Amino acid sequence: MMFCPKCGSLLVPKKSKKEIKCSCGYIHKDKEEAKIKLSDELVKDKKIEVMDEEDKIKTMPLTTIDCPMCDSESARFWTVQTRSADEAETRFFRCEKCHHIWRDAS
């Protein structure tokens, strides 16, 4: 890294010419000293994985709560902002045993 002797900003290499230039207008003259090297990093895109509904549910946190339908004690939960932003989120639960979905009463 090199810094501008005039203003102290970082000197940035320009792609069009083999020079290092500052935003204040200063151009570094000695190309050998600067050892300008421009390189682009190739980033491979990851494949998009599609999840079905069951896989989405399995990623949700598990909690201990009584199901109103089957009296099971474990359910997955998630939150949704169903009202205005200054009010609390609504918590939804899905029973692990019977898959019944209900919302938090509080």
Residue 37 pLDDT level (bands cut at 50, 70, 90):
low
Provide, for the chain, the percentages of residues in helix, strand and coil under a 3-state DSSP scheme, each rounded to the nearest 5: 10, 25, 65
pLDDT tens digits for range 45-91: 778 777 777 777 777 889 999 999 998 899 999 888 888 888 888 89
Domain, as residue range, for 13: 1-41
Residue 77 and residue 98 in one domain: yes
Q: Which residues contact 101 (CB under 8 A, 6 or more apart)?
A: 92, 93, 94, 95
Of 86, 89, 96, 104, the catalytic one is 86
Residue 74 and residue 36 in one domain: no
Number of Cβ atoms within 10 Å of the Cβ of 86: 5
Residue 37 and residue 57 in one domain: no
The answer to whether the pTM exceeds 0.75 is no
Within a domain: 99 = yes
Of 41, 87, 89, 104, the catalytic one is 87
Instruction: Read off the DSSP letter of residue 61.
Output: P
What's the pLDDT at 22? 82
3-state secondary structure of 19: strand
Whether residue 71 lies in the annotated active site: no
Whether residue 52 lies in the annotated active site: no
